[in-house]
Structure 1
């Protein structure tokens, strides 16, 4: 289900796969060949945008949101495991976020193979180098 919110409609590349029961709202961009799996919620635009790059995989039951003036950015070739919560973070290229992890405002996960283990909590403003 794709919804307009505050005059913003999600922009989804036609090559992306979006599962039928995914909810995507507002100021959200999803790049080429990305996939968003069942029961995921991506809520953008109520306070900041959500940007998801190309070839990125958001797995089942994940929740993506943001804080005022602090967008959620997920770059290319990222894997987000099942039931992950991402809130106003930056996830760099080729990173993997393990199942059940929570990554909070201002946190940054490095590129080039950074790995967040399953069930991890990454607190606000934590920086993870490459």
Structure 2
């Protein structure tokens, strides 16, 4: 299914294949030879999404651009089942395994591997050929790779990353953080009320 969002329509190369149950919304460009499988969602929420040639987006993956962070995915990259990319750049020949997550402002270098359920946090830079092991968390620039049992170190990086401030425009220390966050984000998402199916 393809939708016009904020006046922009998806542009899909005639050699690309998009499953009928995938959702492509807004300013999305999909390159030649790309494959977008069932249940995948690719949505441009104010910023563009560009998928290069021969990119594969597996079942139920989510790719979302924001007004602050576009998404660019280089040629011959695979985004695994249930993986997500939010406002990030992936260079060529990247492998995101099932359940991997890449957050806003991150950059994943050429031929990197982000393995099952691994996380690349906000504004993290993975140099070329970096491997993030299964379930690990990559944080920062220069990057630190932390195993999930190093919860205190991961937690210590959170305030510096300021995820609620950067992504939602809400101060982390706001007493009613979730009230502010959901109301602001809900207002932004309400712009979909005027979307129009174009396929």
Under a length normalisation based on structure 2, what TM-score does the superposition of the two structures give? Answer: 0.63
Q: Which has the higher strand share?
A: 1
Where does structure 2 lack aligned partners over 5 or more consecutive residues? 129-199
Superimposed CA distance per residue, residues 85-112 of structure 1 (whole angstroms, 9 cap, x where no aligned partner): 110000100110111011000111110x
User: CA RMSD of the aligned region, Å?
Assistant: 0.8
Q: Which has the higher helix share?
A: 2
Q: Which has the higher relative contact order, 1 or 2, with Cα contacts under 8 A spaced 6 or more apart?
A: 1
Q: How does 1:98-117 map to 2 (within 5 A)?
A: 98-111=97-110, 113-117=111-115
Structure with greater Cα Rg: 2
Q: How does 1:34-73 map to 2 (within 5 A)?
A: 34-44=34-44, 46-73=45-72
Deviation >3 Å, runs of 4+ = none
Output the CA distance in 2 between the equivalents of 1:126 and 1:83.
21
Give the aligned length.
128
- For residue 119 of structure 1, what is the aligned residue in structure 2? 117
Under a length normalisation based on structure 1, what TM-score does the superposition of the two structures give? Answer: 0.96
Where does structure 1 lack aligned partners over 5 or more consecutive residues? none
